A and B are shown apart, each in its own frame.
Chain A
Amino acid sequence: MQLGVFSVGDVTPDPTTGRTPTQHERIKALMAIGKKAEEVGFDVFALGEHHDHPFVPSALTTMHAYLAAQTERLVFSTSIAHITTNDPVHIAEQYAMLQHLSDGRVDLMFGRGNTGPVYPWFGKDIRDGIQLAIENYDLLHRLWRTDVVNWQGKFRTPLQGFTSTPRPLDGVPPFVWHGSIRSPEIAEQAAYYGNGFFHNNIFWPSSHVRRMVGFYRQRWEEYGHGPADTAVVGLGGQVFVRPNSQDAVREFRPYFDVAPVYGHGPSLEEYMRETPLTVGSPQQVIERTLSFREVVGDYQRQMFLLDHAGLPLTTVLEQMDLLGEHVLPVLREEFAKGRPAHVPDAPTHASLLARKEAEGLPERPAHESRAALTHDEDEEVSA
């Protein structure tokens, strides 16, 4: 089980003091959280791409490269990176570069991400969201696996004899997760490629999360990647922890009550009942997080949102100390219990490289997608 921290990098006033951090302070705080993640024993740190107010993480590879240079073990991911409004050629090169500089400590979670107004800033239209996600990832998949690419699609200029640079480290592309809250099409996409599926989980009742993950697992099996329980699943979750649960509730409530994402709506207690939000003691966090397995089965990656809604950096770092000492070791031990031997761990660069060497084959190619998106030989064949 990989345990991680994910952040959207919102710049939000602290409701208890009224003070808003500067963008510079928030960016530096995110880097402090990333370094702390390794120090206290998390496996993964992920930043979510945003280009709109009030968020700061617009240049993920720069931020993750900064952290990669100052850490040894931590894996960097995205929560999420936009597969819709970024040029797949740009993604291929940026993240392959990050992969080299971090010695393979990078993977990606992709999503559509943006709100309507953001798409035009990058020359796109939100009504094309699903199609952009399909076409752009299909091209990215090829760019990382084929040295010389000839390609033509709907949304960007054609490529002729193009080679993205640098080539992936050891010829092994970064592992990719596809994230979606509610679109079956994206779960379908993840299953088709044999990629991971990430459900952000934090804003939704578990009945919905169960259906999305169940659909992905079923399609994974139908596409021939193995039994449904071998599919690669990640979940989000949000916690606020203090040694004593009453203290946690008392301290977090003013942040919850006016938080941009859920303030002025349901009470903290209602929200905890309906979603995975856990505000309480380390033991409560452990029990709640372990219960996610009952919803989606044995899964591979659990990410925690810790630093939003205006919580000050010192408070966030205290959370991380508590989680590192009291929660992470227990979660690792408990998630391992009863887990069938054939359920894989989350792929890493080392495991993907080992698989490649063992099989002597490239990763599962997407023949159909390649055929459908090129105007090469098969225009009539599959029409």
Chain B
Amino acid sequence: MTRRIVVVSGGLSETSATRRLADALGEATLAALRERGVAAEVTTLDLRPRAHDITNAMLTGFAGTSLQGDLDAVLAADGVVAASPVYSGSYTGLFKGFVDLLGQAAFDGTPVLLAATAGTARHSLALEHAMRPLFSYLRALTVPTGVFAASEDWGGDGEAAGALASRVERAARELADLVAARDPKQVVDEFDAAPSFTQLLGDLRRG
């Protein structure tokens, strides 16, 4: 069964560095899965064009049809690449808004690769003190290597670019290992999972 990798890119500008990093991680993950003989496909969700829908969903309590489709894609993912720019030492509000809409169970046991971008390397720990605790709270299975890219990592200098490429590759391998080792995700339909009335009454009695 084809595994589904969803790449969430929280970049706020068009053609953002975050999207570039997210794409690289998605492609590397696909390649690593291919090496392991696992068929997979990648879906990439840019949050910028969804910003209004995300705010609307927070205010109205329901996601519009298009955004709901995106949320469902994450809920069904076998593995997730979560990438955000660093603002004020942490992921963006837009990124957190999207995660909030997914609900507490969305990442439960799901392999997640964390990635972040920023203007300088001084923000690199945002991955470890902001992104990772968020996904630990959500009980995601975060891969050990987080990938951070500052401006200098994209520079022409062969050494820096090569270092980023090798980090991308290592993190993608780690994500691919976790995805390949697990059964394809089964999305539980809330109506199929609903207890029967007899169960509902039985629970009361035991309570």
Q: A185-B194, A215-B191 are in contact. Are A265 and B205 (CB under 8 A)?
A: no
CA distance A320 to B207 in the complex (A): 48
Interfacial residues of chain B within 183-207, with CB under 8 A of chain A in the complex: 190-191, 194-198, 200-205, 207
CB within 8 Å for A188 and B190 given contacts A154-B207, A203-B60, A266-B56 = no
Q: Are A131 and B204 in contact (CB under 8 A)?
A: yes
Complex Cα gap A207–B65 (Å): 9
Q: Which residue of A lies closest to B196 (CB)?
A: A188
A184 within 8 A of B: yes
The closest CB in chain B to the CB of A132 belongs to: B204
Q: List residues of B (26-54) whose CB comes within 8 Å of A's CBs.
A: 52
Cβ contacts under 8 Å, A135 to chain B: 204
**Closest residue of B by beta carbon distance from A214:** B191
Interface residue count on the B side (C-beta < 8 Å): 25
Q: In the complex, how many angstroms separate the beta carbon of A363 from the nearest chain B beta carbon?
A: 17
Q: Which residue of A has the minimal Cβ distance to B53?
A: A266
Question: What distance in Å separates the Cβ of B31 from its nearest Cβ neighbour in chain A?
Answer: 36
Report how far A383 CA is from B203 CA in the complex, Å: 11
Given contacts A184-B191, A188-B194, contact A205 B64 (CB under 8 A): yes
B62 at the interface (CB under 8 A from A): yes
Q: Is the CB of A215 within 8 A of B65?
A: no
Interface membership of A274, Cβ < 8 A? yes
Q: Do most interface residues of chain A lie in helix, strand or loop, or is the interface mixed? A: helix
Interface string of A227-268 (1 = CB under 8 A from B): 000000000000000000000000000000000011111100
Counting chain B CB atoms within 10 Å of each CB, the highest count among A130, A153, A211, A274 belongs to A274
Shortest distance between the CB of A189 and any CB in chain B (Å): 6
Contact with B along A118-162 (1 / 0, CB 8 A): 000000000000110011001000000000000001100000000
Residues of B within 8 A of A373 (CB): 201, 204-205
Asked if B92 CB lies within 8 Å of chain A CBs, one says: no
Residues of chain A with a CB closer than 8 A to B202's CB: 372, 382
Shortest B62–chain A CB gap in Å is 6
- CB–CB B59/A264 < 8 A: yes
Interface string of A187-227 (1 = CB under 8 A from B): 11101100000000001110110010001000000000000
Q: Specify which chain A residues have a CB less than 8 angstroms from the CB of B197 in the assembled complex.
A: 134, 188-189, 191-192, 368-369
Residue in B64, B68, B195, B205 with the greatest tally of chain A CB atoms within 10 Å: B205
Residues of A within 8 A of B201 (CB): 134, 138, 368-369, 372-373
Take A205-B68, A265-B60 as given contacts and tell me if A134 and B204 are in contact as well, using a CB distance cutoff of 8 Å: yes
Are A274 and B65 neighbours in the complex by a CB distance under 8 Å?
yes
Contact check, B190 vs A266: say whether CB atoms are below 8 A apart.
no
Q: Is the CB of B204 within 8 A of A211?
A: no
List B contacts of A274 (CB < 8 A): 62, 64-65
A161 to B59 alpha-carbon distance, docked (Å): 50
Chain A residue contacts of B191, Cβ below 8 A = 184, 211, 215
CA distance A369 to B60 in the complex (A): 37
